[in-house]
Amino acid sequence: MTPLDMWLSRSIPMCLLLQSLVLMALCFPSASMCPKGCVCQRARPDPGLHLGPGPLGLLLGLNVTCTGSRLKEIPPDLPPDTAVLRLDHNQIMAVPDHAFRGLRLLRELNLSHNAVETLGEGAFSGVEATLQVLDLSHNRITSVHKDAFARLKARVLVDDNPWHCDCTLQQALGGMAHNHEAAARVLCRSSELQEQEGRHFLAVDTDLCNLAKRTTDYAMLVTMFGWFAMVISYVVYYVRQNQEDARRHLEYLKSLPSKPVKPNEVEDISTVV
């Protein structure tokens, strides 16, 4: 056996061992990377999916499952290579802006069966390009920012929430990539339009934004009419008050005794005549 053969016989097993260690490190993340109360498992792609050469091309990120962990907030220490995040059946009440920033592989987010009440403009900032499925069903959401879903390309599930149907919600649903499907699942618990309460969002074909504008215009008209009526009332009161004062002054003048004429003044008058 030549020296080269001996070197290769020793190097090849060492390389295979190092590759196996790298794969094990990637496939089985350490406990310190996984948030408390969650389970982290490495996801693998479909056999026919090609992600490029090398061990990294065989992986699709982490599946982080925190289902039923009694979480009251979104874990701040999520692994940066999280691809699937299940936070369902917890007690999460809010989704802070930029809560998922840095999760550049995130493609599925399950927030169903929580206590979320509203969503801000930046709730899903940073994951708009990768997120494919967003489940917000079975929460307490009544309203969202009009741009909460504007840049998302994901399929969004929003059913079973106590929605307040107004112009803002109409704008938010209009900004969704799959807006018709999402809007069809929205049931209006309350609405700016009384006939829409208790019905599906698409059941009443009304532009709620124009309705709000008409309501605002009507309110302005009523306010202006009120001010005008108040000015007219003040002018009428002012005129009547002046008339009353003038009448009283005239009666006072009439009540004054007339000045008596002296005898000398009478003689002077007779002489003049």
State how far the alpha carbon of 172 is from the alpha carbons of 130, 137, 158, 199, in Å.
20, 16, 12, 18
The dihedrals phi and psi of 228, each to the nearest 5 degrees, come to -60, -45
Single pTM value for the model:
0.64
Tokens for 266, please give them: 């009478």
Find tokens 């008339």 and name the residue: 243
Q: Three-state DSSP class for 197? A: coil
Cα torsion at 180, 183, 184, 190 (round to 10°)? Answer: -160
- CATH T-level assignment (fold) for domain 33-43+58-205: 3.80.10
- The Cα 146–Cα 169 span in angstroms is 6
Please report, for the chain, the start and end positions of each structural domain, with discontinuous segments joined by +.
33-43+58-205, 207-249
Rounded to whole angstroms, the Cα distance separating 29 from 78 reads 12
At 20, the pLDDT band (50, 70, 90 cuts) reads very low
Cα-Cα-Cα-Cα torsion 35, 38, 39, 41, nearest 10 degrees, comes to -50
For residue 25, the one-letter residue type is A
Confidence at residue 193, expressed as pLDDT on a 0 to 100 scale = 84
**C-alpha 202: how far from chain center:** 20
The token duo for 48 is 């026919």
Q: What does the pLDDT average to over 205-223?
A: 65
pLDDT in tens, 158-182: 999 999 999 999 999 887 877 788 8
